[in-house]
Structure 1
Amino acid sequence: MALMEKRFLKLQSLRLMAAGAVISGCLMAGSAIAADAEKTVSKKPDYALQPEVKAFIDDLVKNEKFSRQELQDVLGKANKSDRVLELISRPAEKRLEWKGYRKIFMTQERIDRGVTFWGAHEKTLSRVEKEYGVPAHIIVAIIGVETYYGRQTGGFKVLDALSTLSFDYPPRSKFFTKQLKEFLILAREQKLDVSELTGSYAGAMGIPQFMPSSYRAYAVDYTGDGQSNIWKQEEDAIASVANYLRENGWKAGKPIASKAKVTGTKYEKAVSDSVRPKKTLKQLEGSGWRPVAVLPEASKAAAFKLEGDKGAEYWLGMHNFYVITTYNRSKLYAMAVYQLARDVKSSYKTSVPKSGKTVAEKKPL
């Protein structure tokens, strides 16, 4: 892939949060999503006859060498989903504070299932960590937050979701039309049946919940079977998450975040809406911020405040914390990944006896 095209696809993937694609889907059980998807499909519109769809088809025929008849047949099968439009208009994560968000993703069951997932895929995770420089526990946590380790990948047909949002949701039509285009291209490249693929209400797909542009840019065929199958191949999904983080700037061995203590009267001024680390630790310390963990003096961080169960929590996010937010542009999301990763790693270490088998392997959940 040409460098400029890859950068463009990367930029598109960074807009994942703006699309509201991932976390809201995780807040609902997969079976409930599937039921909703089936119940709320509107009377089928004839998308192929709409002017904007004709222009979309013209573009793919001219620039991507698609068959016009093929596209008309595919889009003729697409259904408008009122449920998709309902969900995209009120993403659940925007209504939550950290204390509520944490209760959803930091459960003992999710931690235990993370240990089980790690035990089942220990060899793959170990190889991927060495090859990509991304820690196994971070990969496990992202998959755990995204889809409960592959259990909740979404029950909406991707073709329906993306067609609905492309042609019946004007506020984000440009973004989703691009994603629909990427989806049709990747289906051709990977020899996938577009009418069968399922995902979230916004078209995020598979175990790692990749949008189509992210799939084309970062999905990995780790099994070597000729297809990057992030729906059913955990090995492909694991490597794809690692590849995504590495390509978006993950720095191996570097810190992620630290809780902080604040003093004085200037600390509030250092709080930033952005999680991009811009200030040095020395600058932050001058404003009354002191990390609880030992961090390299040359580190840069972003200071932010979260509302926890016991009141305000103060945190410093480092470069790798920011990289996690490229997966989903929310500091709550990144904090859930960070804390779940930490707890899964701790539990995994204590569950590996001398036999080399995890407790989870011996006694399934």
Structure 2
Amino acid sequence: MIEASSALSKRFCMIAAAAGLILSLNVNNASADAKFQAWIADFRATAMASGISAATYKRAFAGVTEIDPEVLEKAKFQPEFTAPVWDYIDNRVNENSVATGREMAKKYSRWLGAIEKSFGVDRNILLAIWSMETNYGEIMKRDDVMRDAVRSLATLAYADPRRGKFGRTQLIAAMKILQSGDIDRSHLTGSWAGALGHTQFIPTSYIAYAVDMDGNGKRDIWNSVPDALATAANLLRKNGWQSGQTWGYEVVLPAGRKFPAGSKSIAEWQQLGVVRANGKAFPNGSVKATLKVPDGRQGPSFLMTKNFFVLKNYNNADKYALGVGLLADQIAGSTGLRQDWNRPFTPITMKEREELQHHLTELGYYDGKVDGKIGSGSRNAIQAFQTRMGLDPDGHPSKEVLTILRKK
């Protein structure tokens, strides 16, 4: 009886401790929510001093009761700055994105022509941006990606020390958009960082560059593809886009030669032995260009013109601007790079990547979307399979891994 009583006593203590922990967590969460609500109340004065009406503020924060923890998690990882260049490009410049881009070029041909005429920006660049930002609008249909822009920006403003100022500035800009009537509250959605619409404009950029291309009285980059593409074109033009000029050239470098940093004319680069990878002549030797070797001398090399750096006004990452340029060229009919990336594995096509994901799903390693895009879920699944098979768990979507999977 004494032993039974002791066991019951221990069990009671464990239950009580667990209940105490749950109560503590609930109290902490309630405290955090209360602090967030207090922050929202305090921020009202700042917003009104910036021209936001009391009615708009009330409408903006209706239903926003707690921060979005997923926003803080996503803020820790940005592929433009962390993924290897070949991984970043493979997921964005592939047979699927090229084929869809060509379909969209036909579908929106009339609008693209009008936008080119108005803003002087090549249509294929605009299609590439649309693809890079939202996969031609497909991402906007996903509830697991698109979020309430006010809640996202309020979360960053309140809870992210690194992005607090950004969050506050963009939150006020988002409320100005709501106040303008261009979009209603239920459709004011964006990425985790508050980027809006088909072409993912942060609110301050929307205010600076948004265009009503379709003439319906609203600058609606969420529902109007012409408005979204024209807005992207306006941003590029106002940041110095040079009409009729390329973003850059793939080149071949003379072996064993080192090159100084900085911009030189194409003619000067030619004098140093740099030639186009496709064997064609450079159209204009006086154009200034900068040498970039994003994957080292063993990978492809590029001479980047001013338009490459204009693209970085959209997203300040070399990988992003390079992805836009390469995809635009392929949508226009280019066959792609002459020198492939220096990958540590044998690459596979997008269709084969989908097949790889399908096999991993059937074997119970993967439960994500079968779309050929290799993110952390796919890499983790590949690593788990490689470990099971006694292989080096590098997580790469390689021909070698697919060959083994086909035998299972």
Give the alignment's TM-score, normalised by structure 1.
0.75
Residues 236/74 of structure 1: CA separation in 2 closer, same or farther (3 Å cut): closer
SS at match of 2:333: helix
What is the aligned partner in structure 1 of residue 239 from structure 2?
248
User: Cα RMSD (Å) of the superposition?
Assistant: 2.5
Query: Which amino acid in the other structure matches residue 204 of structure 1?
Result: A
What is the aligned partner in structure 2 of residue 211 from structure 1?
202
Deviations 1:142-198 (A, max 9, x none): 101111111113421111110000111011111121111111011101353335422
Contact in 2 for aligned 1:190/1:228 (Cα 8 Å): no
**% identical aligned pairs:** 28
Between the aligned partners of 1:246 and 1:129, the Cα distance in structure 2 is 11
Computing the radius of gyration from Cα coordinates, the structure with the larger value is: 2
Residues 196/279 of structure 1: CA separation in 2 closer, same or farther (3 Å cut): same
Between the aligned partners of 2:127 and 2:119, the Cα distance in structure 1 is 14
Query: Within the alignment, does 1:307 sit opposite 2:319 as a pair?
Result: no
Query: Within the alignment, does 1:281 sit opposite 2:272 as a pair?
Result: no
Contact in 2 for aligned 1:157/1:197 (Cα 8 Å): yes
Aligned residue among 327, 346, 359 for 2:333: 346
- Residues matched between the structures, number: 297
SS at match of 2:216: coil
Deviations 1:328-364 (A, max 9, x none): 11111111111111111218xxxxxxxxxxxxxxxxx
Runs (4 or more) in structure 1 with deviation over 6 Å come to none
Query: Within the alignment, does 1:318 sit opposite 2:305 as a pair?
Result: yes
Aligned residue among 31, 37, 58 for 2:45: 58
What is the aligned partner in structure 1 of residue 70 from structure 2?
83
- Specify every segment of 5 or more residues in structure 2 that has no aligned partner in the other structure, as ranges: 1-28, 335-408
- Specify every segment of 5 or more residues in structure 1 that has no aligned partner in the other structure, as ranges: 1-41, 273-277, 348-365
Query: Within the alignment, does 1:181 sit opposite 2:172 as a pair?
Result: yes
Residues 207/139 of structure 1: CA separation in 2 closer, same or farther (3 Å cut): same
Between the aligned partners of 2:92 and 2:146, the Cα distance in structure 1 is 20
Query: Within the alignment, does 1:49 sit opposite 2:34 as a pair?
Result: no
What is the aligned partner in structure 2 of residue 337 from structure 1?
324
- Using the TM superposition, give the Cα deviation of residue 70 of structure 1 relative to its aligned residue in structure 2, in angstroms: 4.9
**Larger relative contact order (C-alpha < 8 A, sep ≥ 6)?**
1
Contact in 1 for aligned 2:212/2:220 (Cα 8 Å): yes
Greater Cα offset, 81-90 or 280-289: 280-289
Which runs of structure 2 are paired with 1:1-365 in the superposition (5 Å)? 45-46=33-34, 47-50=36-39, 53=40, 56-64=43-51, 66-67=53-54, 70-71=56-57, 74-75=60-61, 77-78=63-64, 79-153=66-140, 154-263=145-254, 265-270=256-261, 278-285=263-270, 288-292=273-277, 293-307=281-295, 311-346=298-333
Between the aligned partners of 1:182 and 1:290, the Cα distance in structure 2 is 46
What is the aligned partner in structure 1 of residue 4 from structure 2?
none
Contact in 2 for aligned 1:220/1:228 (Cα 8 Å): yes
Deviations 1:285-334 (A, max 9, x none): 455544445141211111111228x9322111001111111111111111
Give the alignment's TM-score, normalised by structure 2.
0.67
Greater Cα offset, 258-267 or 200-209: 258-267
